[in-house]
Structure formats: C-alpha cells, structure tokens
Homo-oligomer: A and B are copies of this chain.
Amino acid sequence: MKKLPLCLLGLLLLAGAARADEGMWLFTNVPKDHLKKKYGFDATEKWLTHLQKSCVRFPGGSGSFVSADGLVMTNHHVASGAIQRLSSKKKDYLRDGYLAAGRDKELKCEALELNVLVDITDVTRRVNKAVKPGLSPGQAAEARRGVLSEIESEGAEKGKFKSEVVTLYQGAQYHLYRYKKYTDVRLVFAPEGQIAFFGGDPDNFEYPRFDYDVTFFRVYENGKPASTPNYLRWAGKAVEEGDLNFVAGHPGRTSRLLTVAELEYLRDTGLPFVMHRLNRLEVLYATYSDRSAENRRQAKNVLFSVQNSRKAYIGELAALLDPEVMSARREQEKRLREKAAMDEEFSEARGAWDRIAAVQKVRAKNIRRYTLLEGVAAGFNSQLFGIARTLVRAADELPKDNKDRLSEYTESALPSLKLRLFSKEPIYPGFETAKLADSLTFLANELGAESPLVKKVLAGKSPADRAYELISGTKLLDVGVRQKLFKGGKEAVKAANDPMLALARAIDPESRAVRKVLEEQVEEVKSQAYAQVAKVKFALEGTSTYPDATFSLRLAFGPVKGYVEQGKKVPYTTTFAGLYERARENNFKSPFNLPDRWLKNKDKLDLKVPFNYVLAADIIGGNSGSPVVNRAGELVGLIFDGNIQSLAWEFAYSDRQARAVAVDAQGILHALRAIYGAGHLADEIAGKR
C-alpha cells in the first residue's frame, strides 16, 4: 500500500482542520463550491444522478446496485432479519451463510421491500399554503397532516411506486420523494454470521476492525432479474490515505439543533441515568446467562441489545463531555440568539431557548419516575407485565373516540399492537421472574422503599417474593387468555382476578399522570420552541447547510484518513493478515473464532489485501450498507459502522478522531473468490480479472 508522504499528510490534516467535511447533504443541494475549492472536484448533475439512482433503501438501512442485472449489496447486519426469516431449524443461513450456485438458486425473501429514489419535488409552497396563518397549533398540525397525506397519495402509481413527503430543516422545507418499489427480492450471498460480526460486542463500534459485513440480494421484476442500468462499477484498486470518498445513504436521525440546555440535561441527567439502568441490565442478563446454556439462549437477544445501546450511549456521553463539542454548540447557539435578537421577524423566537431550558428542569425532575413507570416501564421489566398493561389500557382506551386515545391505541396503531399482544413468541417464566425481581428492586431503590407507590407495588413482600407471586400467578402466558380478555374488554379484565392485571391496573393512575407531565409540560413545549429555533437557523443559513437526518437519501464525503488515539496512530486500513492475528491473539475463542471456510481457505487469500478502512465522512445509524465511491463514482467500500468517537455525530460533527468504518471493496471481492469460491458472483460485480 502506498501511503502519502508524511509532509503532505500534515498539510492535508491542516486543511481538514480549517474546514471539516461536515454534512449529510441533500442530493438537491450538494456543497459543490466546497468540493471544488477543497478537493478540486466537480460534482456534476450527471455524476450525482447516477449515484442517486444506484442507491437502494432497505428497512432501517442502505444499499446499492452493483450490477446491471439487479444485484444489490448491503451489510449482513442490515440483511439479517430477512436471512433469519429464510432460515429453519435445518438450515441456519444466519449462522452458516448462503451462496446461490446460480440465479435459479437465489432464495426469495418474505416481506422485504427495497426502495429506489426516482425523483424529488419541492412541495414547500403547497404545504405552507394549506396551513393558513392564524390557525391554532392543533389545527395547524391537522391541516399539515391533511395536505401531506394528499400529496403522498397522488404520487402512488399502480403499487410500483411510493411517495413520502420529507420534512426538512425542522419544517422549513417539504420535499416529495418518489421511490420505485422492489418487492421480489432474493438472497444471492450471505457470509457466516461470525465473520460478518467478527469480534462481537468487544469490537462493536471499535477500530481497527475485521468484519466481512456484506450480503448480496437481487431484485426481480416479473420473475426475472430486474434491469438496473444505474449501478456502481467496482473500482479497480483499493483506496489510499487521503483519497476523497463519497457516501450515499439514508442516515436515520441526528439531533444537531438541540440547545445547550438540552445537551446539558442529556449530559448530566438523561444519559447518566440511561447508563445506570443499562449497566444494571447488562450485569443482570450476563449473570443470568452465565448460570446455564439454556439461560444464555433465553437472554441472548436482550443482552446483545443492551450491550449495543450501552456502547452507543458511552459514545454520545463522551461527546457531550468533550469541551470541543460543547463549545462549538455554544458558538452556534450564540449566533442564532443574536440573529433572533436583531431581527424583529423572530421576536417570538427570542424566548425559545429559555423555554427549552426551563422544561429540562421539569424533565430532570420527572425522568426517573417516567422511565420506571411509563416509557420503558423499567420498574416492571417483564413481558407479562407489558401484556397486562396493554390489556388493561386497551379496555380503557378502545371505547373512546379515536382522537382521544393514547397514541398506541389509535385505529392505525392497532394492527401492530395486536401482532405483539397475540405473538406466540416464547416467554420464559424463570427469566421473567429474575427480570421482574431485579426491576422491582430498582423501583424501590429509585423511589424509596417507604414511598406509597412502592409499598402498593410490593404489597408487603420482598421484590423476589413479589416477582415470583406475580409471574407464577398470572394466566397471561396463554395467548388464548389474552385474546379472550382483549375481546372481553373492561368487564373481562376486571373479572380475570389475575395478579399481573391487578398490578397494571393499580399503578395506571400514577403512570398516566407522569406521562402527561412529560407529554404536555416537556414534549409539547419543546416541539413548539424548536420550531422557532429552526426558523431562525434557516433564516441565517438557508440551504447553505444540510438538514438533520430524516432517513432520506443524503450525500456525505471526506478523506480516507487514520487518526491518533492515546498518542498512537491508528492506521486507516486493516488487512486480512490482521484478521487472523486478532483471532490468534484471542486463541480463536468466541467472539474471535473464525468460520471453517476462513480457516480452511486461508492459504488462498492474499493476506496483504485491505479488509476494513476508515474515512471522515459524516454518517449515522441508517447509513449501514451505504456504498462508498471515489471521484469516478466507482465503488470502493461499504459502510458498516462508525468508531466509538463517531457516536458524537448524533450531536455535532468533528473529524479529529471520529470515523466511518467501511469494508474495503477489494477485500469483499477477494474473499468472494478465495474463501467462498464465488467466482460467478465476483465476475458479475467486477468483470473477469
């Protein structure tokens, strides 16, 4: 690998410091001048349109076309739901992977729809016209909902297309995005889960990294591979340090408008309390798992989910404790407040920051109680409790007018509520008891054992005894009982004489009360105040900046670039040699074990080929599976993660250490041939070489 000479690297780093490559840009508003000036790159409309039409949206993730015959590439972890649904007891494709020997062996996926963005129309004026001035906030919201659903329904065309209006810049712009839908999607290739997520939780959000996190699908139309003339050609060589890279994908959500007061709330109260709760859960689930192999199986999913969240929040909290991040946000806020103070148009907005600051105090005061009783109901960590609460509330809510119900009981929400309520997914009483005993203890610790609410909940018993009484006494394990109670409504629920239903009923007044405080005194005030702040920001910056992420197509860019951590240079790339070394230094023990194919075919690999690499492009969750292209628009990588520092990008971009992490396209191709003998697939994406 040729690296840039050090002196030149120094210059590049300085240039980077001068104006960072921040931004998840709209394809309709790419910072062409910046690209031209800093990189001498011409972002032509042709180049952009080709890239846009090569991009594919997955449920919760991103992807791209990589051949003219409808071949789509994404991450294994984006594809894993679909792969799981294809698997059975006999064929565990998630564990063992899959390679279709020919197109007739490609496996049709259930319930997987892919979207390709076809065109974008600015509908801001039409939306604003429909929302007449002088309406109350409630009326305005209703008028807005009306016009949006009208616009969206017009865009549909015989089921092959779907339309979404995207709210940009917190409501300063509305764009209509029209997508082509692909509903016949077939699995072409998936690696073994172990190599896709090599290193497991320990290496999650870390770098250096060694993951083959890739999967290929093919979209079909009329039973034949779809023709996809817009696809990304595979680059002929690997990236090098300093190369300009582009990432096109669907970042899900960012919070870059939050005021300093809200960031401080998150830093000093919100995130520490989340971490406190997650650490407790992680220890609980880990120790429960360690008691037996069967326990481990039962707790596997929730343990992984807690570990993943814990890492993400550690990164976010670290960002908020980074003075660089906070001072940048203070600067921004100062500019906005000055603009509001100067400009009579924003007289209403002037108090917005203070209103947001004031509600943080209400939030801080109520967040523990809210989290314990409502929210995630952390004081009642039990699926059976969740079922009991749903039955109790459904009995109360369903007789009401649709508009007066709690949001999760409205007509449009009912199908998914029933799906969960009547799910036959197994529930394990032993695990339920352990979780409930621990969470009742947490409830008592946080609210005080002598508080009337805690005394009512524990009913004169210890948390362990009470949890056992509730779990062993409830009939709600039985889906038939749930169905009968749901149908029977209030009378049936009352007559059931079920201890879990009785508990859910008993705490409902307190639980609804704290929810009301959060919704009315915090969320509603915030949403109005942030709309004001957003107006000021838009007036100041207009479309010279990018809007917060909205799970719609965006372009990010930045150089391939290593970084310095704890005084050590972290190189921009890893190789296959590094993979085997990482496995060896951990004695090939899980999660550092390697699939058989990777052990058996090691000799066929060129160990110097790059495997994963980092780049300083501005991404976030939802970008998983995004293609990375070079100046020529050729595919050079596949985004699959960010390092721990990149989690700060939820709040603010910095390229000091934060990096996006990609699988190198050369590594993908090489392993396809050497490890999987998938020459036909490699030929399709790269031509014969």
Which residues of A does B touch, CB under 8 Å? 200-203, 206, 264, 267-268, 272, 275-276, 279-280, 282-283, 286-287, 290-294, 310, 317-318, 320-324, 433, 441, 444-446, 448-450, 458, 460-465, 468, 472, 566-567, 585-587, 589, 591
Contacts and interface: CB of A to CB of B under 8 A. Distances in A.
B318 A202 contact: no
A213 B259 CA distance: 59
A280 B317 CA distance: 14
A451 to B, nearest CB: 9
A464 B465 CA distance: 42
Max chain B CB contacts within 10 Å: which of A461, A462, A464?
A462
A463 B586 contact: no
Contacts of A448: 268
Given A279-B283, A468-B566, A463 B318 contact: yes
Nearest to A437: B318
For the complex of A and B, list the 9 residue pairs with the smallest distance between their C-beta atoms, beginning with the closest: A272-B445, A202-B290, A322-B462, A279-B279, A468-B566, A202-B291, A279-B283, A279-B280, A268-B448
Among A201, A279, A320, the one with the most B-chain Cβ atoms within 10 Å of its Cβ is A279
A267 B468 contact: no
A303 to B, nearest CB: 12
Contact of A286 (B286, B444, B449): B286
7 contacts: A200-B290, A264-B449, A276-B279, A293-B587, A293-B589, A317-B445, A323-B461
Contacts of A321: 441, 444, 449, 458, 462-463
**Which of A264, A268, A472 has the most CB atoms of chain B within a 10 A radius of its CB?**
A268
Given A323-B460, A323-B462, A318 B566 contact: no
A317 B438 CA distance: 11
A294 B202 contact: no
Contacts of A201: 287, 290
B450 A264 contact: yes
A268 B441 contact: no
B202 A317 contact: no
A293 B441 contact: no
A616 B454 CA distance: 31
A465 B324 CA distance: 12
Given A264-B450, A310-B283, A586-B292, A318 B567 contact: no
A138 to B, nearest CB: 37
A356 to B, nearest CB: 17
Contacts of A320: 449
Contact of A317 (B294, B324, B441): B441
A591 B280 CA distance: 22
A449 to B, nearest CB: 6
Contacts of A293: 585-587, 589
A468 B268 contact: no
Given A291-B202, A318-B463, A441-B317, A449 B268 contact: yes
Contacts of A283: 279, 282-283, 310
Contacts of A323: 458, 460-462
A268 to B, nearest CB: 5
A566 B292 CA distance: 18
A236 B272 CA distance: 59
A472 B202 contact: no
B290 A472 contact: no
A566 B472 contact: yes
Nearest to A587: B293
A283 B272 CA distance: 15
B441 A318 contact: yes
Given A268-B448, A268-B449, A275-B280, 20 more contacts: A201-B290, A202-B287, A206-B291, A268-B450, A272-B445, A286-B286, A290-B591, A293-B585, A293-B589, A294-B585, A317-B441, A318-B441, A318-B462, A318-B464, A321-B444, A321-B449, A322-B465, A323-B460, A468-B566, A472-B567
A472 to B, nearest CB: 6
A261 to B, nearest CB: 12
A203 to B, nearest CB: 8
Contacts of A279: 276, 279-280, 282-283
A322 B458 CA distance: 10
Contacts of A294: 585
Contacts of A280: 275-276, 279
Contacts of A292: 585-586
A114 B587 CA distance: 42
Nearest to A323: B460
Contacts of A264: 449-450
A566 B468 CA distance: 6
A283 B284 CA distance: 11
A321 to B, nearest CB: 5
A269 to B, nearest CB: 9
Given A279-B280, A287-B201, A472-B567, A445 B586 contact: no
Contacts of A291: 202-203, 206
A468 to B, nearest CB: 5
A280 B313 CA distance: 13
A294 B468 CA distance: 41
**Chain B CB within 10 Å, residue with most, of A203, A449, A587:** A449
